Structure 1
Amino acid sequence: MERVLLVYTTFADAETALEIGESLVRDRLAACVNVLPGMRSVYAWKGAVERGAEVVAIIKSRDSLRQPLVAALKARHPYETPILLHLPVAEADPDTLAWILSETGA
């Protein structure tokens, strides 16, 4: 059976994350996108240590949509190099899995 895929990414603001998240759900590349505001980040970028406010987005999808989901995120994401971490799920509640599969794909 197909596996659930979670994708972790960040955005500069909640509105952008919600707009891109909604487009992914409408395109059936994701069943849900959770947007968690209020994150503070410290990161290395082009030789400097930076600080900034960001929001986290956790995208719930299916493993077979990994490539089209990543392509859509890269095309829509405002960051030059967006963080895209693929988090395979070892197991999911059967009802949760059924819902994700029914809301994504063809």
Structure 2
Amino acid sequence: MTDIVEIHVTCPTLEVARELSHGLLDGRLAACCNIGKEVDSRYLWQGKKERHDEWPLTIKTRADLFDACCEAIRTHHPYETPAIVGFAVDHVDAATAEWIAEVTKA
């Protein structure tokens, strides 16, 4: 187990994904943000089945910055309740872990 996490959240537009990425990077809350290709999302919301095109955003950061990342995402995301999930990274290359620790907030 490492102290690195990946955070996943979907965004309603490519522009929102880019803006969130820039905010997290500028705030040194994330070392890296990857924006995926548009996906077809289907989910239940307020008692109804919904379908929207969304852009997945993957954020690489330290585990101790998870809550700060969530707060920044919730503050700047247009959804009332963005689905933010984090996964502990079990294995990571030592150089990658060092880089993530170096470029994120101390």
State the TM-score, normalized to the length of structure 2.
0.94
Identity of aligned residues (%): 35
Cα distance in 2 for partners of 1:37, 1:13 equals 11
1:37 CA displacement: 2.4
Q: 2:93 aligns to what?
A: 93
Q: Which amino acid aligns with 1:48?
A: K
Q: Specify every segment of 5 or more residues in structure 1 that has no aligned partner in the other structure, as ranges.
A: none
1:41 maps to 2:41: yes
Alignment gaps of 5+ in structure 2: none
Partner of 1:64: 64
Alignment of 1:1-106 (within 5 A): 3-106=3-106
Residues of 2 paired with 1:50 and 1:19: CA distance?
A: 24
The one-character-per-residue Cα deviations of 1:54-105 (angstroms, maximum 9, x if unpaired) are 0000000000111111111111111000010011111101011111111101
1:32-55 superposed Cα distances (whole Å, 9 cap, x missing partner) = 110112100111111111111000
Structure 1 segments, 4+ long, off by >4 Å, are: none
Give the whole-Å Cα distance in 2 for the aligned partners of 1:12 and 1:60.
20
> How many equivalent pairs are there?
106
The residue type paired with residue 32 of structure 2 is C
Q: What TM-score does the superposition give when structure 1 sets the normalisation length? A: 0.94
